[in-house]
């Protein structure tokens, strides 16, 4: 099992190029199943979850040419409609093939995602919404067996709760539903807007009517498509926090600062100096870190995927901070490990209280999930001495070349077998 060895503490200085977005790439790859035409996708991040999604598409019959900087996807061959547990269990976004398979073939058998460290990850909202498009489903042996005997039929659907995955599954499925579908109370993360751009490039007819309301008019044929995936705003936010916590001076490249407004405002409140350029953000960390209280929320609120990372920064604040995790029921797995490094964080339900003034000590650590593992690196970068981080397969699911990118700006970090 591979580990990371991190020697802290030192300031990070230089430029970091941000990769394509994992959470935009996954629904776009799933949506490609709708098409029998040629699809060219660029700027996909080279991370494990994308590899897993590619295997999943290939297991369904996709022919995928993997070039250095892009993929060519051809889905015209006869298709299987079975997404197996062994692929979906490691990457819950595998459930996103359910919508396109139903839309294209009228039936699908997809493994239930199963829970993970951060929560049970149910899909009840996906399934109830799909049944409003005429889908009949049953659940047995850990699989969803779904059919649309008369094809999908457009309908008005109001999501009972904001769900990124459910919004994506329904957006994709509705593209082939007969007639018009209106989805309300949608998630509106930038990755969903990128998915909308991709689907419309393919020839789908999607129009956002108001903040969380979208209209989809069903179509029945698509065209060759070429799309470059947006940047990864969570990776960008992670490196901005790395610059702040190491009192560094980092330029984060290939980003759209407008999509990081909430994070930038928070980092300024905490005391970092930030300069915005067209596709670049400069952050200069400050010795004095101010405490704040925040809660995670759907876009445009503070992203739950940056909660572990900002918590590490707030451990260094001069006074007490509080973080409320409003999206997932168990997303404080990093707290135990941070306390072992000298943080003083207590949890009460979905609220963490961070004492501040932590003097992180290097330690041997255990990663539990994707974002928790990167928060341990941030703490290790701020601790004198050698830290070891185990189970970094969590990290490799969503961060491309993290040790290479960090080494380039002065981190003493290496992967050991």
- Closest approach, Cβ 130 to ligand EPZ, in A, equals 10
Look-up of token digits 């129009």: 207
Q: Is 116 a known active-site residue?
A: yes
Q: Candidates 122, 142, 301, 385: give the one binding ligand EPZ (CB under 6 A).
A: 122
Q: By CB under 6 A, is residue 398 in contact with ligand EPZ? A: yes
Of residues 292, 303, 299, the one with CA closest to residue 325: 303
Q: Candidates 314, 323, 327, 372: give the one binding ligand EPZ (CB under 6 A).
A: 327
* Bridge partners of residue 119, in order along the sequence: 116
404: CB partners within 8 A, 6+ apart: none
Find the part of the chain contacting ligand EPZ (CB under 6 A) among 64-72, 117-125, 286-294, 353-361. Answer: 117-125
Alpha-carbon distance values, 2 to 89, 383, 388 (Å)? 21, 21, 10
Q: By CB under 6 A, is residue 29 in contact with ligand EPZ? A: no
Q: By CB under 6 A, is residue 23 in contact with ligand EPZ? A: yes
Q: Candidates 32, 62, 75, 163: give the one binding ligand EPZ (CB under 6 A).
A: 163
Of residues 228, 172, 225, 196, the one with CA closest to residue 31: 172
The C-alpha angle with vertex 185 and arms to 236 and 227, in degrees rounded to 5, equals 45
* DSSP SS3 for 133: coil
Give the DSSP H or E segment for 352: strand 351-354
- Closest approach, Cβ 121 to ligand EPZ, in A, equals 5
Q: Candidates 39, 123, 281, 365: give the one binding ligand EPZ (CB under 6 A).
A: 123
Q: For residue 230, what is the DSSP state?
A: P
Find the part of the chain contacting ligand EPZ (CB under 6 A) among 71-79, 156-164, 256-264, 403-411. Answer: 156-164
* DSSP SS3 for 229: coil
Contact between 137 and 127 (Cβ < 8 Å):
yes
Q: For residues 171 and 165, what is the distance between their CA atoms, to the nearest angstrom?
A: 10
Q: By CB under 6 A, is residue 4 in contact with ligand EPZ? A: no
Q: Candidates 52, 62, 75, 304: give the one binding ligand EPZ (CB under 6 A).
A: 304
Q: Measured from the CB atom, is 330 or 357 closer to ligand EPZ? A: 330
Q: By CB under 6 A, is residue 48 in contact with ligand EPZ? A: no
* Interacting residues toward ligand EPZ by CB under 6 A: 23, 26, 93, 119, 121-126, 161, 163-166, 187, 304-305, 327-328, 370-371, 398
């Amino acid at each position: 099992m591979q580990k990371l060895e991190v020697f802290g503490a030192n300031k990070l200085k230089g430029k970091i190029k941000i990769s394509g977005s994992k959470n935009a790439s996954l629904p776009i790859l799933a949506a490609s199943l709708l098409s029998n035409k040629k699809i060219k996708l660029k700027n996909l991040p080279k991370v494990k979850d994308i590899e897993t999604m590619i295997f999943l598409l290939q297991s369904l019959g996709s022919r995928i040419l993997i070039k250095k900087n892009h993929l060519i996807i051809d889905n015209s061959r006869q298709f299987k409609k079975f997404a197996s547990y062994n692929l979906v269990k490691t990457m819950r976004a595998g459930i996103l093939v359910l919508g396109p398979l139903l839309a294209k073939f009228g039936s699908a058998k997809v493994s239930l995602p199963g829970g993970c460290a951060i929560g049970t990850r149910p899909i009840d909202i996906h399934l109830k919404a799909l049944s409003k498009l005429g889908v009949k489903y049953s659940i047995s042996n850990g699989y969803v067996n779904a059919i649309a005997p008369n094809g999908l039929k457009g309908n008005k659907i109001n999501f009972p709760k904001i769900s990124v995955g459910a919004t994506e599954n329904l957006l994709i499925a509705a593209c082939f539903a007969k007639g018009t579908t209106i989805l309300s109370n949608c998630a509106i993360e930038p990755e969903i807007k990128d998915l909308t751009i991709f689907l419309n490039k393919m020839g789908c007819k999607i129009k956002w009517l108001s903040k969380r309301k979208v209209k989809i008019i069903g179509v029945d044929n698509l065209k060759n498509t070429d799309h470059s995936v947006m940047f990864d705003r969570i990776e960008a936010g992670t490196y901005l926090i790395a610059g702040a916590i190491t009192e560094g001076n980092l330029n984060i490249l290939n980003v759209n600062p407008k999509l990081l407004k909430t994070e930038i405002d928070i980092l300024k409140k905490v005391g970092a100096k930030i300069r915005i350029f067209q596709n670049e953000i400069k952050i200069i960390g400050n010795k004095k870190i101010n405490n704040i209280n925040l809660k995670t929320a759907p876009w445009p609120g503070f992203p739950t995927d940056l909660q572990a990372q900002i918590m590490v920064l707030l451990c260094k604040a001069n006074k007490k901070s509080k973080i409320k995790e409003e999206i997932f029921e168990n997303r404080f797995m990093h707290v135990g490990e941070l306390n072992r490094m000298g943080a003083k964080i207590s949890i009460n339900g979905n609220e963490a209280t961070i004492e501040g003034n932590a003097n992180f000590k290097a330690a041997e650590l255990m990663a539990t999930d994707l974002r928790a593992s990167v928060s341990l690196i941030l703490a290790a970068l701020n601790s004198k001495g050698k830290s070891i981080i185990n189970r970094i397969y969590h990290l490799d699911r969503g961060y491309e070349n993290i040790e290479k990118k960090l080494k380039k700006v002065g981190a003493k970090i290496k992967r050991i077998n």
